[in-house]
Structure 1
């Protein structure tokens, strides 16, 4: 099977359902950013040595494919063939955050991204997640968007922040505190 179809050579692509839209359409930008986030989550998963965490990050990647599929579908198609997000997906992230947070020192300062390459990549994934969330919110102002997507992305960015702190702790690197000039 050829991967190239040449149908996008004039700057258009198809949604699930067949409607042709510009590749610059907000919907395309949004699910393209979900794909970018998924790539960074894969990178963070590859850098992680904790097997339970790797399994959760794999689940996150699966959920991001669900989100991307949902965003790539025309509204009438979303109810027919697209996998769904569930509240348990959000609760799983919250539980994982609570478990990591119980082992972390209290957060008393803003934290600057850095300290170790793995931690930095986790922060990159977090910021791409926040950008994805903003794009989904903008899209929701124009079209129907599944109501679980924004809460899931919001919780995922929180999870990635806590994960970055936990990774720093496990790697034995000091968190880089932001101490503003006075």
Structure 2
């Protein structure tokens, strides 16, 4: 069967149901714009790696065909439709919006498209959907357009906005993971944090903690974030058994003290949202420090049990010992 039929050579096109209509009519503009949006979504789909977002986009593309079919139908064609957009579809979009808003948090400034190629195409699709919505609202003034379609189009642009934000977030997380994996692939560093050194640091941490009067958990990890030693003082908080090693892991994974992360995770900053990455192992308050020899990270420490200030004070005592002893590491 030939792609071309020559039936549209006079500027008309056929509707589902058999009647013909001018190609520059408002009705054709409505479903034609949906086709345009679907194409933009296809580009985004081909670029996105996150399976959850890809699945949502594919479902949306199928729903746009459903909306388009209804808008491209005459009275007879409408009666032949087997599937129509319903209130349930509107609710599904609202659930998507709520899910990602909860995950990503509120925004406090306008978002300029362009952070990733895929998110840019999602923003493009969102803008096209907005245009389609305006056309459909205009069509509803002279033709019978169901309320569910108008509602669906309104929610869809918001859903695409949230998906664009999610795409940027997941791309950032994957970038961080790749850096961590690359560090692990590099193998052992030229210096190693030994168990002997970790034990010395644990003794200093316990002595300083006893001096302050707070029982703590002290953790030392190697350059790959693996635990070398975990030491728990009697009476230390159970929560510290998670926080201490996670602080040490964070310091190694991000190559910085954990208290330095706080300003970087605020909305709009470069590491916003990282605290929920890496299986929620990232800690963004004080008590975790990387251990360095000549700018080479050989491990990290984490202290948890007191206030943030107390944890940092104890950790500083450990770092002092490390500075004195690091010449003996090999």
Fold match, TM over 0.5? Answer: yes
1:85 aligns with 2:71: no
Larger deviation, residues 95-104 vs 156-165: 95-104
Larger relative contact order (Cα-Cα within 8 Å, sequence gap ≥ 6):
1
Aligned equivalents of 1:57 and 1:138: distance in 2? 26
Report deviation, 1:117: 1.4
CA deviations over 1:61-115 (Å, ceiling 9, x no partner) = 1110011100010134313325211222112222122221122132111212222
- Unmatched runs of 5 consecutive residues or more in structure 2: 174-266, 270-330
- Unmatched runs of 5 consecutive residues or more in structure 1: 177-182
- TM normalised by structure 1 equals 0.89
Aligned partner of 2:111 in structure 1 is 111
Aligned equivalents of 2:47 and 2:268: distance in 1? 18
- Contact 2:45 2:58 (8 Å CA) reproduced: yes
- TM normalised by structure 2 equals 0.51
Aligned equivalents of 1:12 and 1:117: distance in 2? 37
Change (3 A) 1:15 1:175: farther
- Contact 1:14 1:20 (8 Å CA) reproduced: yes
1:128 aligns with 2:128: yes
Larger C-alpha radius of gyration, 1 or 2?
A: 2
Alignment of 1:27-176 (within 5 A): 27-172=27-172
Going by fraction, where is strand more abundant, 1 or 2? 2
Alignment of 1:17-28 (within 5 A): 17-28=17-28
- Contact 2:27 2:72 (8 Å CA) reproduced: yes
Give the number of equivalent residue pairs.
176
CA deviations over 1:100-153 (Å, ceiling 9, x no partner) = 112213211121222221121111011001001001011111111122111111
Aligned partner of 1:2 in structure 2 is 2
Larger deviation, residues 63-72 vs 166-175: 166-175
3-state SS of the aligned residue for 2:147? coil
- Contact 2:11 2:22 (8 Å CA) reproduced: yes
